[in-house]
Structure formats: structure tokens, C-alpha cells
Amino acid sequence: MKLASQKTGGRDGTLVVVARDLSRVTLATSVAPTLRDAIEEWQTAEPALRALAKQLEDGTVESMPYEPAALASPLPRTFQWADGSAYLSHMRLVRKARGADMPANSESDPLLYQGGGDRFLGPVDPIPCADTDWGLDFEGEIAVVTDDVPMGCTSKQARSHIKLVMLCNDVSLRHVMRPELVKGFGFFQSKPASSFSPVCVTLDELGEAWAGGRINLSLVTTYNGDEFGCVDAGADLNFEFNELIAHAARTRDLSAGTIIGSGTVSNENYQEVGSSCLAEKRMIETIRFGEPKTRFMQPGDTIRFEMLDHDGTSVFGAIDQSVVAV
């Protein structure tokens, strides 16, 4: 089942069910007015939404064309947005770029930061750029949405709390990041609004590509019209989503609608498959040439993230954004 949120209806949007081929949508307000409402009552909302999805596939319910520009991120805002760094190949490169060592327990203890969940950009909304000296970067990621997760939830238990999956562009300001981290309180100014794919999907929609707590499909990154990376999201994931959820829930309950991100999708063979962010590419260039060759984003640049299934069909629709000066 595929779900999305139209921009109409207020800050939380309006819930729609999306056809599997991303051609049509139908209003789901008879079940729940918003995705937030649906995920908070998932046990009763899910079967009703699945029935509506079947009607949409059968053509027996009123529908309208699928238009990404009319869609917000699936959850336009949420109470909890926590992003991980579950690909150690990426962590090693970007930490090397800013002269930081890897944490001693990096291979056994996941790393998360708490992002701003009060407002996300839509999947085709422009990315605002107030200052090109801030080092604007994109980061292609996978994210999951949970139902209510109790404090102390184990990694095994956490698997049952993953309800929806989507893509993420975790926008970062690299030149703001380093001085901010030196202060010791973590990211804030360096992490402006993120964006998510037009569509989120239930686990069964992924079929065999969902295994345990990971997706075994490639994330395709297209930067300024050229392929920048085609990176396997499952191959080198060091911490599965259930492990990230258990880590986040160690000291607190997680409310329904919590979003957990994977961190930038990265492979150890990055020389062959490319990257999902500019910082990683720049570090690879520094290792090879002694200095980075690729600049950070500027107004007019475009970034697109998409994931195709084994039949070549888009799973989540595409994040497709341009940078604009503000």
C-alpha cells in the first residue's frame, strides 16, 4: 500500500491513497483526515486504508491524477525526527573531512541526532539557500515511520513497530556544521528542513527487497541531470532500522509518527557506485587529489533521489528539488 499527503487541509496535509503505478490517488479522509491521524490509530486505520487501496486498483472509487507538486512530505511535520549514521563507510569519510576521529564504539553503538520535525519540505519544493558560504549539501537516505514504541523496546521487538518506509533528503550545511559541533551540543543550524519522497509504503509493498530491517534496493542520485550515485541501500548498512529504533527508545517512549532516518546511503566500493552526498564525494577527491574538486550546491542546482524495484518501477516516487536563493 502506498500513501501520501496532499498540501491542502492544513499543516498536516490531507491523506490520500496512491495507486501502485503512481498514476492516480484517492482521498482517504473517510478513514483518517491525515497520515498523522492514521498512524496514531494504525490498528484500525490500516485495514480500512488497504480496502480503499484495493478499490483504487480496481477502479471502483473516485480518483484524480498523481501530481507530485501537489504533495507534501508524507508526514509534513511530526513530533519526533531522529536521523542515524548507519553506514559507517559514510561516517568514516565525512569525519575524516572535518578532522574528527570515529567514536570508539562506532561499530556496536548507533549514532543518532534529533532533527527538526516541525516542518518538512515537500518532495519537489525548492531548497532555500541564504548563503552559498554555508556549504549546502544533499544527503540521500531511507527513513521509516513507527507506531507507538515503548521505552526499553528491544531490537527484535522494534521490527514490529516499523509501519512505513520512504526516502529522505537530509539537507545539510557543511560549513556551519563543523563550528557547531565543536561547541558540543550537536546539530541545529547546520540541519535545516529535510524533505521526503512523495509516497511512503507499507513493508509488503517492498516484497523480498525488505529483509529484516533493511531495503535491498539501490538509491539513484541525480545531480544537475547527471547520475551521481547508484548505491545499494542494503549492502553496507551497519545498523538495521530495528536497531536504530531500539537505540532511540532506550530512554524514552517514541510516539506514533516518529521518523527514523538511516543516514546517508553509502557503499564501501564508492569509487565504483558513486555517492549520495557531496561531502562524501569531496572527501574521496581529497584522498585522491589532495583537495576537493566538487563544489557545494548553489542556486540553480538540482537534486533528484529515486529508488526502483527489480522491475524498474519507482517505489516511492522521486524527491526532485532545485536550489533557490532567498
Report CA Rg, the chain.
19
What are the C-alpha distances in Å from 297 to residues 129, 135, 261?
9, 7, 22
Q: Which three cell numbers stand for residue 248?
A: 532511540
User: For 177-197, what is the mean pLDDT?
Assistant: 94
pLDDT tens digits along 211-258: 989 999 999 999 999 999 999 999 999 999 999 999 999 999 999 999
Cβ atoms of 168 and 143 closer than 8 Å: yes
Tell me the pTM.
0.96
Q: Which three cell numbers stand for residue 308?
A: 526502483
Q: What pLDDT score does 218 carry?
A: 98
CATH 3.40.250.10 fits 77-325, yes or no: no
Q: Residue 317 above 70 pLDDT? A: yes
pLDDT tens digits along 114-168: 999 999 999 999 999 999 999 999 999 999 999 999 999 999 999 999 999 999 9
d(CA 225, CA 302): 7
What percentage of the chain carries pLDDT values higher than 70?
A: 99
Q: Which residue has the cell 552526498?
A: 277
Cβ atoms of 87 and 264 closer than 8 Å: yes
CB burial class (10 A; 0-12, 13-18, 19+) of residue 109?
A: exposed
Cβ atoms of 216 and 209 closer than 8 Å: yes
Q: What pLDDT score does 98 carry?
A: 65
How does residue 95 score in pLDDT terms, banded at 50, 70 and 90? confident
The secondary structure element, H or E, covering residue 165 is strand 162-169
Q: How many CA atoms lie within 13 A of 308 on its CB side?
A: 8
d(CA 174, CA 168): 18
Q: How many helices (H) and strands (E) does the chain have?
A: 8, 21
The bridge status of strand 319-325 relative to strand 127-129 is parallel
Cβ atoms of 40 and 258 closer than 8 Å: no
Cβ atoms of 120 and 193 closer than 8 Å: yes
Nearest C-alpha neighbor of 307 from the set 134, 141, 148, 146: 141
pLDDT averaged over the chain?
96
pLDDT tens digits along 22-61: 999 999 999 999 999 999 999 999 999 999 999 999 999 9
Single-letter amino acid, residue 95:
R
Task: Look at residue 97 and give its three-state secondary structure.
Answer: helix
d(CA 140, CA 172): 11
Nearest C-alpha neighbor of 143 from the set 261, 36, 231: 261
Domain residue limits, the chain: 2-70, 77-325
